[in-house]
Amino acid sequence: MMSGQIIAGADPMQAVMFQLLILFLLLTTAIVTSVMLGFLSYPTLFNERVQINE
């Protein structure tokens, strides 16, 4: 996206800021997904005595 904006004639600083925004949005999505997956799978993986279910 950054390269396309620069080639199209946009301000390079604005193009970099948009690229960083997209990067941080992707990282935030990955972190939220990982945390949700951990919380949702915890009851399935462990019993009330924090032992791994088989």
* Neighbouring-strand partners of residue 52: 46
- pLDDT tens-digit readout, 17-31: 999 999 999 999 999
- pLDDT tens-digit readout, 1-54: 889 999 999 999 999 999 999 999 999 999 999 999 999 999 999 988 888 987
* Residue 35 confidence (pLDDT): 98
Phi, psi (degrees; rounded to nearest 5) at 14 = -65, -40
* Residue 54 confidence (pLDDT): 77
* Residue 27 confidence (pLDDT): 98
Phi, psi (degrees; rounded to nearest 5) at 46 = -125, 150
CB 14 within 8 A of CB 24: no
Phi, psi (degrees; rounded to nearest 5) at 51 = -110, 145
